[in-house]
Structure 1
Amino acid sequence: MTILVVMGVAGSGKSTVAGILAKRLGWDLQEGDELHPKANVEKMASGHPLTDEDRWPWLELIAKWIAGQIDSGKSGIVTCSALKHSYRDVLRCDGVVFVQLSGSREQISERLEHRQGHYMPPSLLTSQLDTLEPPGQDEHAIVVDIAQTPEQIASEVIAALPPT
């Protein structure tokens, strides 16, 4: 059993790639943004970055979802920015693989400028990039360049998955 945490800054393609992966693999998918408390969504929508204190309850909800999948013996995929090592510590357990969608500031900024219907304004990209700590040696992670199509990214992730 494997739980993929598709991570990265806003605009990196987490939801798109996670959706493709879930469809190809037949795994459950949880959109992490749906677990944000209303106050977090309102704060981000008004252009204010979240603090660690804002994120802890949200991360705990994601960790609960992961634990539920593991307890039920089901592989799954969840999207979560998971920007800091300490955030990923809350989510990390046996079977969790982080999938970091990595790209340049320019690539992601352009995506955010053209994105519609999301509460996260492009103005918060800088704070997310400043917060981002790439996965370390102690984290089971697959890092994928977002310059590829979402389908190519999903194929690369699937090819890199541990055998089940």
Structure 2
Amino acid sequence: MPLIRRNLLKLAQYTSRRTYFTIPSVRFSPSHTKSHEFAWKVAPNQPIACYDLIYECTAYNVTIFDGEDDPGCRMQVECCEEGILSYIAIDDDEIESRSPDEMVGILSTSTEEHILIQQLLFNKPNPEQTLSKLRQCESLEFEGTIPWEAYLAN
């Protein structure tokens, strides 16, 4: 088989893969212990472009306040990946804290994948059940957590 044809077949296989990323409650520093008061800047089912602001949260025990009473700091998180926000594990009105690295959302990389995720997660299960359901689906491939950047909010 000619090299060009082999490469085209590999490209077709790669582009037909359906992948998704998890959106974490990001860890801002090694001492960071919890985040809460999430404010999503993108609505579910909306596309996300690279470097879009996806959420703000208040982070506690971040090393910039070392040795002081920790008032918490407001952080903004940007996504460094393109896709569709398919699932949010924590809504704006929920007050509960999230520990760093805990999943707070799912980003799908294609419309077909987004539809499949919506069908799998129709009843909005809790985050542990969500990941379990997605990993059992053979037509979806887990890519890891999104690449992200964070900034202090004004």
With a CA cutoff of 8 Å and minimum separation of 6, indicate the structure with the bigger relative contact order.
1
TM-score class, shorter: under 0.3
The structure whose residues are more often helix, as a share, is 1
TM-score (norm 2): 0.28
Specify the structure having the higher radius of gyration (Cα): 2
| TM-score (normalizing by structure 1) | 0.26
